[in-house]
Structure 1
Amino acid sequence: MTQRSLLITGCSSGIGYDAAHGMAKRGWRVFATCRNPDDVARLRDEGLECFHLDYRDSDTIRSALSAVLEATGGTLDALYNNGAVALPGANEDLPREALALVMETNLYGPHELTRAVIPVMRRQGHGRIVNCSSVLGLVAAPWRSAYIASKFALEGLTDTLRIEMRDTPIEVILLEPGPITSRIRENGAALFEEWIDWESSARADQYKGQLLQRLYRAPGRDRFELHPSAVTEALSRALEAKRPRPRYRVTVPTHAMALARRVLSSRALDWVLAKG
């Protein structure tokens, strides 16, 4: 049996890193990608086939996919759009350019890569596209508007694509993790420092009492936080099930928020979510 091929984005750490190694151990031929060339070299040293892909750079999207297709003889069994960034801050302090950066990384880049992969999967007569959303693609929360906007949009884009692909052999699937051990907080802190002028904000005291504590001094793990392998397990089911589900929810908070969105009024849900 021919080894199945899988392209994964955002593999430098966290969910993508675990998925790349975990799916390779399951027998998949994994093509990992990272936006930082140093991370590409590191993953190659670890034995992975890895390429440079930055969702904000169309040239790297094209070149990475071209390298993958050259390696496989023109086929690709599955795509896992995992790469994403978070930029914390109050909505009213978020510059347009900062929102655009998050959207380019979390939405436009995955969309561009997906569009490039679909013709390949049509020609070969099969394929699976898995997009990594979040519990914050289901509900809102304070201080996370850019990330939430991108994940709400990714949910809508993915749902629409799944419906449109019903007349094709291409399966389209969402993963919806909650709190997972990763570097997204550290990476988000760097973007926060670059883009958010919190000291001039009308919410400066709230930044001091809430967000800064979480970004820089929050001890230990979040409640209900799971290891990235929990997401890899869901990914393996999405890719290997004969008839995959449209959604795979990971962690207690994701299941709880999906239920809360259905049963609570908007005001009641806002009260719950306002607690962060």
Structure 2
Amino acid sequence: MIKSRGTKIGDWIIVFFCILCILACLLPVLNILARSLSSADALVKGEVILLPVDLNFDAYGMVLGDSKYTWSLLWTAILTVITTLWCMFMTIMCAYPLTYDNLKGQKTITAIIIFTMYFSAGTIPTYLLLNNLHLLNNPLVLILPNSIGVFYLIIMRSFFYGIPESLKESAELDGAGPLRVLVNVYLPLSTPVLATLALFYAVGRWNGFSDALMFMNDRTYYPIQLLLYNILNSISSIEVATQEGFSNPGLSQTIKSATVMFATIPILFIYPWLQRYFISGVTVGAVKG
């Protein structure tokens, strides 16, 4: 197919804006990486932009040599896996029954669920509720309150709606019950949306820190992002930085950058494995409402 001149120009404009978006996302990461691998003196002099100056790994050695960093990373990885599995289980168990049109109160249940996507009780009522449930300062407070993302639930339900009804009817004729239909028919056909939503849940938990900040006092269960948040705030204060051994301003900036990379790199490795499911997982699930 021969493209017209106007179409080619439009394609080049789209490519240009895509490149700008890529650079807007990539350049800050390269800058942080370069700062984490540069010497303290180079940072103080402002010589570091996109490439390391006086390449060294001292900052990473200090970060990896501190048990609080490594434990926080390990705990966050464990928390992310558990949260993702639990949230996916709850989302599937909630979305699947809503695909049955003969479910009593289906529309009412759906309306109530969607209502919670736009309106919430707020921080203080949530705090009081979790306190009454004895979940404050409990690792479960990082898992249970966010068991279901309503938007993800809608995507999952819409994807299930897109599966041909004849497949379910055939399984039911063979004697399969609702649970067996879910396990043997729906889930095997839902790999794209399952992988996509699992990634969304995992990234959300990995990057989350506000719930731990408000509901956790035990530093043992601080996720890596909250630890990073506290470190960045601490290093911003000269007095605290001195107490922590970061009396050299350049060294504190190097440690800060290394900590950011330390918390960012692990989750980035998940994207290439699940990237091919993004488009089919989200767009197909959005075809029907």
The structure with more radius of gyration: 2
- Where on the TM-score scale, by shorter chain, does this alignment land: which range? under 0.3
Q: Which has the higher contact order (CA 8 A, sep 6+)?
A: 2
TM-score after normalising by structure 2: 0.25
**Which structure's residues are more often strand, by fraction?**
1
**Which structure's residues are more often helix, by fraction?**
2
